[in-house]
Each structure stands twice: as structure tokens, then as C-alpha cells.
Amino acid sequence: MSYEELLSAGAVLPPDVEGAGERAVPLTARTYRHPGLEDRVVVRLVAGELGAAEDLAAGFLGLEQDAEPAVVGLGLRQSLGFPEWVLVHHPEDGHHALGVVPDLERAARQAKSRPKAALDAYLELGQRLAAAVPHFLPTFYEQAGRVFLAEENATYAAQLFTRARKAEAEHGLTVEEERLDAVFLEFALAGALPVKVLSAYGKELAARVSPQEALRRFTRLCLRRTAGGLPPSAQMANDLRRLARAAGQDADRAEQDYLAELLGLPATLRAAAGWWKGHRTALVALAERERRVRGMLLDMLPAGADRELPAMWLQVLEASGATAGLWDGALPAEERPGDGTAGWLERFLTFRERARSWRESTRMPELYPLVERAADRLRAELGASDGALRVRHDIDLIDLLLSLDVPVATPGKGEDLPLMAWAMGEGQRELLLFGADVRFRDAFLRGADRFQNSDQGLRAIRLLAASPGGRPWLAEWVSSVVQQFTAVGLPGLPNALNRLGWLPAEALALAEDDVRAAVGTDLAPVLARTLRAGLFDELGWPAWEEATAALVPKDRVEDVIVADAWPHLVVAGGAQARVIGADGTLLTHDLRLPANDVAGDPGFHHVDGELLVYWNSRKDGLRGYWHSRADRVESLQGSHRTRGTEMDWYRGDFPITLPLPDGGRTTGRGVLHAGDTTLPDERPLLFDGSSYWVWHADSEDQEARGWYEYDPATNERGRMSRPAFLADALRDAPEGSGYAGGRLRPAPTAEPTPACTPVNGLTGLRVVELPDGSRRAEDLAGHTVTVPAQAG
């Protein structure tokens, strides 16, 4: 968690922490004594800036300060609230203010469970105060708003904040500008004030104080709001220009000064695209005026994903002269990017790809002249670090960099090149240098496998066929496609034949001999091979077929809900659930789900013959019952992600649970017994007949992620390891192979089936990726199958 998140959660940070943000203020421990408390000392933790007010409030209660306050940490900034503000500024009304506190606290206790009732109680109290002590109202409503802020109910907090401002106007109350600034900042940083409210505050300031003071206060509020973590708003910038003109100042210069402060704040990067576009002219003028700003612009990139931002940002850099810092090494360090030209280019490419629409080309021709000017710097930096630029999407840029002798990194394992996106627009390069670098061959072929029978796909194929650099690899790909026509079995023949049918003549001409051979293929051997291997439709599971036929209409099998109960499966429709296994149906239960009160799919656990049915209630959270006492619906504790998935969302990759010899079922994070009302979380499990392993991926340390020995009885992890069957996966594999995954669990049957061959009561599979990219799977019985790399 960030420091700001910790503060919002109520944490106290060490006093010497840096970078805690605008909302962090010194927190003091203030000690008091009272004659009625004998030797006991009262200690209050209070923001240092509110210390004097706290002392006065304590004095009103007869407490006397015992020692000088000590700074003990950093806490969350708050304005002086109710009743403290009344005790400090209107001590004569102190007893009246303290008399309201019990009602305030009573309403606060309802804020989480019954927010509307709490809001009504606050409003009723406000009406009573308005008749007798209207000067209480602003701080009273603000304090009530803070209660809702603590419950993350920004809507009600904003309503009460607005009530406070209306009370000031309706009753003609004196406004303390410093206090009001602090309150606006507090509620704005908590996300309770929309920009239009802050904009209105700027107008109110202009009517209440001098133009110069209005400009100063509003500018400070805008800056402190962004320093506190909220991105700046284009509307607030317009308000600032209006206030500057009213104060007789140069609006352009005021805007530039404002931007100079904002550019150093992290939240500025998250400004909306409209904010950057609106300030484009001012950014250019500021960078022309202050040369250090050019380096700041090179070190930053907007965090937005607007498709027009990258091109606009390049225009700002070019117009302001900042791009000189990418190629002119004679400039001072403050005008150049901190991570060098190569670092800037990689950051910019990531930024551009994040903002690019999938309908747009990956090419960015406006970037290429800048790359050509910066080529010397790129070569020097990469040569000194023995590095290479990582370019994943822009194929023309790869070709350009190679032509400039700038090192380009080899594509990562399994990566492909977006050839169809490269073909969009006009002006593609001939790819001579790209096509001559064999490091990009595999990524090219994987990208070609994504070609579709569409205008975009056909255009890409034709452009590559006409490209001197792309043509040889395209010919290789076309040849492999044609050869697949004779290699696939009968089920895959229609797809292979369909692809041959839509490939344009320009592509087929590149592999003319292979095409002629494919056309003359005798299909009889293909049919014979398929029939010998068997058809998938020959496989069946009677219990599954009976369940689906009974639970849902024939044409709605995708609506069936399934949940793991290894080695069994829970299958449910709208009215009934069944637990089925390899030998048939174990349990049938007519569901008792409340009408109109189930959010999402229901979930299921099958433990020691008992079926737990549970769901997310729209009113009461997690609810459920065990089927043997279905009339006893109870509140449950646990994840609100239920263990029930419709078949159209099922991917077969959810964690399984396993039955334990002494009863109960382990989820990898605990044990569930029949009758329990607390549901443990889950994580993937392995079992080798005597020991368990769990997958641990909670750590940010990548090296710490993996399989760990696990004791279900204590729910504790042991050392990192894998079962012997998986640990030995690479023993007989060729050098350069890698472990790609596996599973090991109790077998659902004792006899071999088409799906698995049990060995000692277990079923297992381990997968190894071979050096050529193909994958070899092997089960416990030693049966293996190898899938080519291009098979997906």
C-alpha cells in the first residue's frame, strides 16, 4: 500500500517518512490531567496544527495540560471539527455543543449499516440547531460528512458538505477563509467534491475577497488538491485564468506559473487527455521560457490512454525544443532525459502502444525523423551498456533502427509481430533489414498465423508479398499452411481447406509447387488415420448427459452451473443440483434459492456426503444452507466469489478441493467440514497419495512464487518443492527444454479411461516445452503426446 492509502486507512506513519503526500501532517501526543482522575493521565493524538484548539477543548472539560506535546508520527490532515470549533470560538455555547455529541454518535453508528437513516438523523439535528444556534451548522454538517467519508460514502458526504455551505449563505455567517480552504481540500482529497463544486468555490471567492487574494487562494487549493493525489482539471484551469484576468494579471503567465508547479507532481500525469490538449500552448511557452522544463517534459509521459495523446505529446516536445535533449549531448543534464535517449524511446513506445486503438496501425511515421536525428545518441548509449532497444509492435521502426545500426532486442519467447496492424495506412517500408535478420523470423511466422479472411488480413498478405524484405518469410508461411492441408486429420480438414480457399493468388504463387501437390492429395489415408485414432464424439459420460438433460433445456446446455468436488462434480440448473461421478449420480437435491434475492450464480461445496448451497444475497450478504437441513439458512463468512460457474464461462482452470482421510475437504487455505459457516479461500493443490502442495503467488517477489509443501491440518506451508513426478519432468528432456506445468491428484476411477490411466490411485500430467517451441505432455503411465509450436 502507498503512504496515502495507509493514512486513509487510519495508520500513523513514522515522523521521518518522506513522500507521504499533502494529506500527511505531524501528529502530536498531548497529555492532560484532571483532579477527578487522581494520577491517571489522559493522552490525545492530535494533528499538530490543531493542537491549540485541542488544548482549549480539553480545558473546557477541566483538563489541564501535563507536558509539552511530542511529535510521534504523521497522521491524516483534518480541519477543526465539531464540537471543537464551537468550544474554541464560542465557549459560551460549549455545553449546548457537547449536548449534541451523543446524538451525533448515535447517528454515526448507523452510517455503515443504515446510511439513509443516519443521514435523516443528521438533517433532523441540523434543523433543530438552525432554530437556536445556526453558527453551529457549518462545522456540524462537515463533521457529519466526515462520518460518511470514513465509510467511503462520498455521495452523502458531499450532500452534507453542500448543506454546510448553504447554511453559511442562508444565515449570513462569517466565513473563515483559512478554515474553509482546509475543509474544501479535505473533502476534495477524499473524493467527495466534484470539480463543478470547486469551480463554484472559485466564483464565490471572487465575490467575497479581493481579486488578488481570490487568485492566490484558488491557485493554492488547486495545487494542494493535485499534491494530495487528485489529477488536475481543465475546468479549474479555466477558472484560474478568469481569476487572473480579474486580478489584472497576465492570464497566460499565470497559467504557465501554475503548470510549472503542477509538472513536478505525480498526480499530474493522470490528468485527462483534455487537460493536456487544453494546456498545449502554455506547455510549449513554459518550456521555451524555462529550459529546465524541457528536461521535465522528457522525463514524464501522460498516463492517459487517449489515442491522440502520443502524437500531441511529440508535437509539444518538438515545438518547445525539448527534443534537442534526445540528440544533443552538449546540452546540460537538466535538459536531457534522466534515463537517456534509449530509455525515453522505450518509455514512449510503451505509452504509444497503451494509447493506440486496435483499429490503428502500429506504425508512427511522425516518430521516425526524431529517431534518425537521435541515432548517434542511441548507438552510443546502447554500446556503452551493451544493451538493445525493445520494440514489440512497430515493424517499420524495427527496420529503421536496423538500417541505422541501432541494436534491437530479440523478440521474447512466444511473441508475435502484428502484421495486420502494420499493413494499415500507407507508406510501409520495404523491410529489407528486418527481413535479413533471422531473429525476427519466428515472431513473423506467429504473426502470420493470425491472418484472417478480412480486408485487413488480405491487404497485409498482399503488401508483404510485394515487400522485398517480407516476401521470403511470407513464402515460408504459405508453404507451411499448404502442407498442413495434408497433415491434419479429417476433423481439421475443413479449416485447412477453407484457409487455402481464401489466400490471395499473390500468396499462393509464392509456394506454387506445394499448392499443386496439395490439390492432388488423396484423402483416403487421411480418413483412415482419423478413424484409427478415434473421434471425440465417441466419448461420453452417462451421468453428465442425464444431468444436463434433466436440468436445462436441450438447447441451453451452456446454462448448466458446475462446481468442483473432486473426484466428483456438482452440476446444477435453476431448480436442482446433482453430485455426479464416474460411476453415476451420488446425490440429487431440489434447490431452495430465495426468489429475486440471488446475485450471480449460486455456489456449491460437497463435503462428506453433505452439499452446501450458498449465494450472494442482494440484501444480506453471503447466505446458504447444508442440504440435510435446508430449512436452516444461515449467514456465511468467506469470499463473495461463489464456487459455481456457468458452462459458457468454464475454462477448466479453477482450483480444485480435495477430500481428507479424516473427513473434511481442503481448499489449500483451510479445511471445510460439513456444517461449517466459514468458507476458506482457495488456491491450487497437488497430491501424490501422501503429501500435499499448494501454489503460492501472494508475494511480489517472483522468485518466491511456486509450489510449497502443505499441511492441511495446520494450514501451514513448508519448503518450496514439487512432487517427484513433476520435479523429474526435465530428466529425459533435451537440453534447452523448460518445465511448462503439470498436475497430480487422486484418480476419479480405478480403471484406465480415454482421459487418463491411473497409477497407484493417482492421475497426473506434466508438460515440457522443447527447444523448438513444441510441447510434450506425459502422464503417470508414461504415455506421451507432442504438440507442435504452431498448434497453439
- Which residues partner with 562 through β-bridges? 571, 645
Query: How sure is the predictor about 79, in pLDDT bands with cuts at 50, 70 and 90?
Result: low
Amino acid identity, position 408: V
Least trusted range by pLDDT, from 86-90, 403-407, 637-641, 726-730: 86-90
Domain parsing of the chain, residue ranges: 1-77, 450-538, 539-682, 702-791
Which residues are within 8 A (CB) of 539 and not within 5 positions of it... i.e. 6 or more apart?
A: 754, 755
> For the segment 478-511, what is each residue's pLDDT rounded down to a tens digit?
988 887 766 555 566 666 667 777 889 998 899 8
DSSP-derived letter for residue 713 is T
- Contacts of 340-346 with CB under 8 Å at 24 or more apart are 340/377, 340/381, 341/374, 341/377, 341/378, 341/381, 342/377, 342/378, 342/381, 342/382, 342/387, 342/389, 344/298, 345/371, 345/374, 345/378, 345/389, 346/389, 346/390
Cβ(50)–Cβ(80) below 8 Å: yes
> For the segment 18-69, what is each residue's pLDDT rounded down to a tens digit?
877 766 888 898 998 988 888 888 898 888 777 776 777 777 677 888 888 9
Least trusted range by pLDDT, from 72-86, 537-551, 627-641, 663-677: 72-86
Q: Write down the pLDDT at residue 596.
A: 86
> For the segment 503-526, what is each residue's pLDDT rounded down to a tens digit?
899 988 998 887 777 666 666 776
Mean pLDDT of the chain: 89
Would you say residue 753 has pLDDT above 90? Answer: no
Query: How sure is the predictor about 1, in pLDDT bands with cuts at 50, 70 and 90?
Result: low
0.85 cut: is pTM over it? no
- Express as a percent the part of the chain with pLDDT over 70: 96
Q: Write down the pLDDT at residue 521.
A: 65
Within 10 angstroms of residue 460's Cβ, the number of other Cβ atoms is 26
Least trusted range by pLDDT, from 312-316, 394-398, 750-754: 750-754
